[in-house]
Amino acid sequence: MNQNNKSIQLQPGLSVEVIKKISELKNEPEWMLNIRLAAYEKFNLLKNPTSWGPDLSFIDFDKYIYYASSLGENYYKNSWDEIPDEIKTTFEKLKVPEHEAKYFSGVNSQYDSETIYHKLKTELDDKHVIFTNIETAIKEYPELVKKYFGKLVPFSDNKYAALNTAVWSGGSFIYVPKNVKLDKPLQAYFRINTKSVGQFERTLIIVDDGAYLHYNEGCTAPIYDKNNLHAAVVEVFVGKNAHCRYSTIQNWSDNVLNLVTKRSIVDTNGIMEWIDGNLGSKLNMKYPATILKGDNSIGKCISIAVAHKDVVQDAGAKMIHIGRNTRSQIISKSIAHNGGNATYRGLVKIAKTAINSKADVTCDTLLLDKFSKSDTFPTEEIYNKHSSLKHEAKVTDLDQKRLFYLQSKGIDPITAKQLLVLGFIQPFSNELPLEYVVELNRLLKLDINK
pLDDT tens readout for residues 207-257: 999 999 999 887 544 443 456 888 999 999 999 999 999 988 887 777 889
pLDDT of residue 71: 54
pLDDT of residue 111: 45
pLDDT of residue 189: 72
pLDDT one-digit tens code per residue, 277-333: 888 788 999 999 999 999 999 999 999 999 988 889 999 999 999 999 999 999 999
pLDDT of residue 24: 94
- In percent, the amount of the chain with pLDDT more than 90 equals 50
pLDDT of residue 199: 80
HEC per residue, the chain = CEEECCEEECCCCCCHHHHHHHHHHCCCCHHHHHHHHHHHHHHHHCCCCCCCCCCCCCCCHHHCECCEECCCCCCCECCHHHCCHHHHHHHHHCCHHHHHHHCCCEEEEEECCEEEEEEECHHHHHCCCEEEEHHHHHHHCHHHHHHHCCCCCCCCCCHHHHHHHHHCCCCEEEEECCCCECCCCEEEEEECCCCCEEECCEEEEEECCCCEEEEEEEEECCCCCCCEEECCEEEEEECCCCEEEEEEEEEECCCEEEEEEEEEEECCCCEEEEEEEEEECCEEEECCEEEECCCCCEEEEEEEEEECCCCEEEEEEEEEECCCCCEEEEEEEEEECCCCEEEEEEEEEECCCCCCCEEEEEEEEEECCCCCEEEEEEEEEECCCCCEEEEEEEEEECCHHHHHHHHHCCCCHHHHHHHHHHHHCHHHHCCCCHHHHHHHHHHHHHHHCC
pLDDT one-digit tens code per residue, 97-151: 444 334 334 444 444 444 434 445 566 778 899 988 898 899 999 999 999 999 9
pLDDT one-digit tens code per residue, 358-414: 999 999 999 998 889 888 999 999 999 999 999 999 988 888 888 888 888 889 888
Average pLDDT over residues 16-42: 96
- In percent, the amount of the chain with pLDDT more than 70 equals 82
Average pLDDT over residues 168-197: 80
pLDDT of residue 246: 95
pLDDT of residue 170: 84
| pLDDT grade for 47, boundaries at 50, 70 and 90 | very high
